[in-house]
Structure 1
Amino acid sequence: MGYSGGIYVAKAERPAAVGDLDVLWSKEFPDGWHELQLDGFPESSALPGLVTATGAPALVAVVLDSDMAHVQALSPAGVDWAAYLHPDNAEAFGAPPLPHSPDEIVELAVAWSTEAGLVADPEAVRAALTAKNTFAEETFTELLAALGISSR
């Protein structure tokens, strides 16, 4: 049985949007970025609240049994995108279609990264969006690196 819960990535150690949810583990990246894996699922309003509170772009991933993740990203300027990691599994779970094509998602993800002061690799973003790792969390780590959030 895999992990099910939310993962926040933001420029905040423990953003208020986490609320009462337990943090299972956290990881710090350069330039003030933090990743928090939660024991539970974020509320739907968590991402906009996180961006407002930090004044910086943020990501939230909802992982289901480590089989797939629904990633949502938002920036203060309104760059908004969503993607499924392990899209075949997402479809099997009955996930609704995304509003953007894969090419549009890559373009928006790169714009989000730029606004965050990061340097994204568009081909690595595309590769992460189509990766078929065993665990969705592994693919999420690849996506973060592709967006420019990494341990360096």
Structure 2
Amino acid sequence: MTTRSTSTGELIRLMRAAGFTGIDESRVLAEDWQVTDFAEAGRRSLANLVQSVGAPAVMVSFLDSDVGFVEALTPDGNGWEGLLNRETAKSYEIPLERFPVESAVAGAIAWSVVAGLTPDEEAVRQALTGSALFAEELSSALLVALGLPDAA
């Protein structure tokens, strides 16, 4: 989970209220952005959190470190979804057509701009189409490509 928040304690409290469980401590990035690990999220957890925080957020859920499911929202309700490690996702029989790359790239760029960041479109596309041993590597690359400060 990556979002802006005024304090780590406040973000963790809001995440719990939004339906996230197994929350670890946040890592603070520049410009009040925070990265927080969690075990599980409910169906509307991201939407609830974005509404509570009043800031854009991006969430990546991992399947055995092999595949990453990306979901991002802005406070005005605009969002996008993407898939990390598409080749590996095939072995899990995940329907790739549910995660069109160009739609995800366009959504990611729009999300990033609304979040006040400077995205790198080609790097976003690479993260969403690339392969890695662990999907977490692609997640880190995606955060950097979205323009999140100090995400590397």
Partner of 2:2: 9
Number of aligned residues: 144
Task: Please state whether the residue corresponding to 2:26 is helix, strand or coil.
Answer: strand
1:40-59 matches, within 5 Å, as: 40-59=39-58
Task: Please state whether the residue corresponding to 2:127 is helix, strand or coil.
Answer: helix
Q: Is residue 9–residue 59 contact of structure 1 (8 Å, CA) maintained in 2?
A: yes
CA drift of 1:94 comes to: 3.3
For 1:30 and 1:119, the matched residues in 2 are separated by 14
- Considering fraction of residues, name the structure with more strand: 1
Q: Which runs of 4+ in 1 moved over 6 A?
A: none
Task: Please state whether the residue corresponding to 1:52 is helix, strand or coil.
Answer: helix
Q: Is residue 20–residue 42 contact of structure 2 (8 Å, CA) maintained in 1?
A: no
CA RMSD of aligned residues (A): 1.9
For 1:121 and 1:57, the matched residues in 2 are separated by 18
What 5-or-longer segments of structure 1 have no aligned partner? 1-7
CA drift of 1:100 comes to: 5.6
Partner of 2:104: 105
Q: Is residue 83–residue 98 contact of structure 1 (8 Å, CA) maintained in 2?
A: no
Partner of 1:77: 76
Partner of 1:28: 28
Q: Is residue 87–residue 131 contact of structure 2 (8 Å, CA) maintained in 1?
A: no
What 5-or-longer segments of structure 2 have no aligned partner? none
Q: Which amino acid aligns with 2:3?
A: A
- Considering fraction of residues, name the structure with more helix: 2
For 2:147 and 2:95, the matched residues in 1 are separated by 28
CA drift of 1:80 comes to: 1.2
Q: Is residue 62–residue 70 contact of structure 1 (8 Å, CA) maintained in 2?
A: yes
For 1:151 and 1:98, the matched residues in 2 are separated by 32
